[in-house]
Amino acid sequence: MSLLSLKNVTRRFGSLSALSNISMEVPQGELRAVIGPNGAGKTTLFNLISGFFPPSEGELLFDGQSVKGVPPEKLVHRGMIRTFQITEIFLDLSVYENLEIAVETAHGLNLRPWLSPARRRQVRAHIDELMQTLHLEDLAYRMAGELAHGDQRVVEIAIALAREPRLLLLDEPTAGMGDEETDRMTDLIRHLHQERGITMLFIEHDMSIIFNVADRITVLDNGHLLAEGTPAEISANADVQAAYLGAAR
């Protein structure tokens, strides 16, 4: 059974159809890329999946259960976590403090005025594990606002991982990065998929990343599902080439 299923999903804004009759299946453990020209409907698709607005028609299933109309905060509790194009972290706190808030929230401890020594050790162990996984140990006590953009994005993913996501949605994870930062983020995505088995769905414009890491690729064009397949199948698809090159189909 697929972890995520979209069945004939349409989203209209007034008379404009941003997405039309989209169906897709994302199996447990898959690393799926979503690509398409600007205005293809990629962000609208992520907004639908992550609960920021419901589909006008069709059905959304997460782990076999309908999540149509379920708000984002409830989807988080079910294990669906999303990052955004704009980095969302606490810039005036240290990396460690950012992760501390994320871990305490994940454990339901954020509203408690006092934690027992056992609970505190549990929180610290989780923070240490996240920092080791994402190689943030040397940045632990740096203010997040002082970090390079690429490091801030890594901290954001660490915050997302604190929730132990079943499905991780990454919206343009390498946007604004230089070559070295992009390579690091690509390696991190590959590691999280291969070593931790996290099901991931990501939007990306860098084709070299997509064709190097994705198991399968979904291609949108003008709100429609243009193609779906392995990187080899997509790279050989004439309709995809036309959409990106602007040739007449």
pLDDT value of position 120: 82
| DSSP for residue 37 | S
- Interior CA angle at 140 toward 138 and 145, to 5°? 110
pLDDT value of position 203: 94
d(CA 55, CA 140): 41
Task: Name the architecture of domain 1-79+165-249.
Answer: 3-Layer(aba) Sandwich (3.40)
Cut 0.95: pTM above it: no
Per-10-residue mean pLDDT of the chain, 249 residues long, equals 94 94 96 92 95 95 94 93 82 95 84 71 93 94 95 94 94 90 92 91 90 94 95 92 61
pLDDT value of position 246: 55
pLDDT value of position 247: 44
pLDDT value of position 85: 66
pLDDT value of position 249: 40
In this structure, how many other beta carbons lie within 10 angstroms of the beta carbon of residue 131? Answer: 19
pLDDT value of position 152: 95
pLDDT value of position 159: 94
pLDDT value of position 32: 97
> What is the per-residue DSSP string for 110-156?
TT-S---HHHHHHHHHHHHHHHHHTT-GGGTTSBGGGS-HHHHHHHH
pLDDT value of position 113: 65
In the chain, the DSSP E strands lie at 2-13, 16-27, 31-35, 57-62, 65-66, 80-82, 167-171, 199-203, 216-221, 224-229
Q: Using the structure block, give the residue that is written with the tokens 């379920």.
A: 70
In the structure encoding, which two tokens stand for residue 108, read together?
A: 């339901």
The CATH 3.40.50.300 domain(s) of the chain lie at: 1-79+165-249
pLDDT value of position 108: 78
